[in-house]
Each structure stands twice: as C-alpha cells, then as structure tokens.
Amino acid sequence: MPSFDIVSKVNLQEVDNAVNQAKKEIETRYDFRGSKSSVTLSGKDEIEIIADDDFKLNAVVEILKAKMVKRNVSLKSLELGKVEKASGDTLRQKIKIKQGLTQDEMKELSKIIKDTKLKVQTQIMGDELRVSGKKIDDLQTVIAHLKSIDFKVPLQFVNYRD
C-alpha cells in the first residue's frame, strides 16, 4: 500500500550558517559599530540575540530572518521569545527553533486530510504523520492540498513508498 510521512524538520546546519552570516553582517555594518549587539546559537534549538536597545534588537532580528530566508529555512519554524533586560543596559531575546509536529498539529492535519473525502488513512507515529492509501493519485492530491493551505508550521513530505 503506497504511503508517505509528513514531518516538520529544520536543517540545523543551515540555521548555523544563517547565524554565522548574520554575525558577519553585524560586525561589518556601520550602524552596529561600537555596540554590544550579537547573535549566537545556544544549544541545538535556540538562538540568543543581545542588543543595546529596541531599535538594534529589531534590526538584528530582521538581519537574522533575511539570512534564514536566503538559506531556505522557514520563518514559521522560529518562535520569538519575549524581550528581557540583560546585564549592562542591554536587551536579550531568545528565538526557539521548532522541530517536529506536536500531537495537536498532527490531529489538525488528520482532520484536514479527512475533510478532503479521499480514501486515505492517517496514522500518528511519534512526531510524524503517516498517510497511506490504495491509489497513488489520492496521496498526490493530499500532498497538493496540504501545500496549498498555509499551515502554522513548515511541512515536508518524506518516505514516499509505492
């Protein structure tokens, strides 16, 4: 029986590259000369931004977002944290990188797929959703439908089997 899996994964190497490119741009830009602005990848799934004031913090976030888009990392996978005070009159903001699908998101995807009235079954397997059916055309229709809607997390379709 043909099937495929729906996942939401972020290429962490591309995130690392985007953070490094943002660091270089911050070091070379004139408006950041003499400031304590920085962007670092802390851990596997968190980016920390430190800036002097709100204006510079927003500028660093925009630089980082631009670098992420260039590296084909979806901005839907970034969850901006609240801005908090850090030491020495600086501001800190943490950005969490969302990996995988939550149970609620998988249930919502299952409901969307069932609403298409196609003869396919969904099965939750860990942090991925398996879709299987007798006809390959039905599976391709499901993929096309899910690509057409704007879901809250980026979706990838993997393990396509006949």
pLDDT of amino acid 122:
86
Q: What domains are defined for the chain?
A: 3-8+100-161 (3.30.70.860), 12-97 (3.30.70.990)
pLDDT of amino acid 155:
84
pLDDT of amino acid 70:
92
Q: Is 129 helix (H, G, I), strand (E, B) or coil?
A: strand
Distance CA 141, CA 146 (A): 9
pLDDT of amino acid 87:
79
Model confidence at 162: pLDDT above 80 = no
pLDDT of amino acid 66:
92
Dump pLDDT digits (tens) for 121-158: 888 888 888 888 888 888 888 888 888 888 888 888 88
Q: Which strand ranges, in their side-by-side order, compose the sheet holding 46-51?
A: 38-41, 46-51, 90-97, 78-86
Q: Is 10 helix (H, G, I), strand (E, B) or coil?
A: coil
Pairing label, strands 78-86, 90-97: antiparallel
DSSP character at residue 80: E
Which position has the higher pLDDT, 161 or 58? Answer: 58
CB 6 within 8 A of CB 153: no
Dump pLDDT digits (tens) for 7-65: 888 888 888 899 999 989 888 888 888 888 888 888 778 899 888 888 888 888 999 99
Report the candidate in 145, 150, 84, 87 with the shortest Cα–Cα distance to residue 113: 145
Long-range CB contacts (< 8 A, 24+ apart) of 86-90? Answer: 86/50, 88/36, 89/52, 90/36, 90/50, 90/51, 90/52
Q: Which residues are bridge partners to 147 per DSSP?
A: none
Read off the pLDDT of each residue in 93-111 and give the average, rounded to a whole number.
88
